[in-house]
Amino acid sequence: MRPHRASPLPFFFVLSLMAHAAMLAGWRTPHAISLPALGDQILEVALAGAAPVRNHIPAGTENAFEAAGPESVSVYRSDQENTSAQSAAPASVHSVPATEQNFLLGRLNSELSRHLIYPPLARERRWEGTVWLGFRLESSGRLDQIRVARGSGYDVLDQSALHSLAMVGRLPGAETVLRGRDINMQLPVIYRLIEN
C-alpha cells in the first residue's frame, strides 16, 4: 500500500491569500498628494484634434459671437493687420496634406511649449479646461489672426493660451512646407493639473 502524501494545494492556497492580502494592503494605503511647485509648467498641449478650418462653426454656437458682441471675443492681430483688416478682401486659403499638417503641428507644439505657463490663479483654484485657438498660418510662417475660437470657461486660461500662441509669432520652417499657401487652423490647448 502506498503511503498517503499531503496535497500541496492548501499550501499554495494560503500562499496566494497572503500575497493578495499584501497587495491589497499596499493598494489601500493612502498616498500623499503633492501639488507641484509654482514655478513648474503643468499643462498638456493636445494637437491630435487640430485641423485646418473650413468656415466651420461648432454646433450650438452659431449665434454665440453675435449675441455676445465683439468686445467679448478675444482676438490678437498684428499691427499690420489692424490697419488693413477692415478693407482687405479675404486672402486665398488652402488646405495641406495630412503629413504636412502633422509636421507643422509638431513644430508648433515645440514652439508653443516654450511659452506656455499654467496661470498661478488657475492653479490655486484648480481650474482646468480646453481652449480652442484659431489662427491663420501664413505662407511665410507668420501666425496671424490669433483668436479664442472656443473658451475654456475661465478667462485666465483663455488669455494665457492666447498670449502664449501670440508669443510664438512665427513658425520656423513653415514656408518650405506651405509653398505660398496660407491656411486657417484651430488648435486645442488643454490645461490639466497633474498630481504627483
Q: Which of the pair, 40 or 94, is modelled with greater confidence?
A: 94
Q: Which of the pair, 146 or 41, is modelled with greater confidence?
A: 146
C-alpha cell at 2: 502506498
Res 138 pLDDT > 50: yes
- Of all residues in the chain, the percent with pLDDT exceeding 70 is 51
Distance of alpha carbon 34 from alpha carbon 195, whole angstroms: 6
Domains of the chain (ranges; CATH) run 51-85+92-191 (3.30.1150)
Residue 144 CA: distances (Å) to CA of 71, 118, 147, 150, 184: 19, 23, 9, 17, 9
Torsion of the alpha carbons at 64, 128, 191 and 40, rounded to the nearest 10: 150
Q: What is the mean pLDDT of residues 134-142?
A: 93
Residue 93, judged by CB atoms within 10 A of its CB (0-12, 13-18, 19+), counts as: middle
Please enumerate in sequence order all residues whose Cβ is within 8 A of that of 172, keeping only pairs 6 or more positions apart, or say none.
107, 111, 141
Per the CB < 8 A criterion, the answer to whether 127 and 156 are in contact is yes
Tell me, rounded to whole angstroms, the distance of Cα 125 from its chain centroid: 19
Per the CB < 8 A criterion, the answer to whether 190 and 130 are in contact is yes
The pLDDT tens digits for 72-119 are: 333 443 334 443 333 333 445 567 787 888 888 888 888 999 999 999
Res 50 pLDDT > 50: no
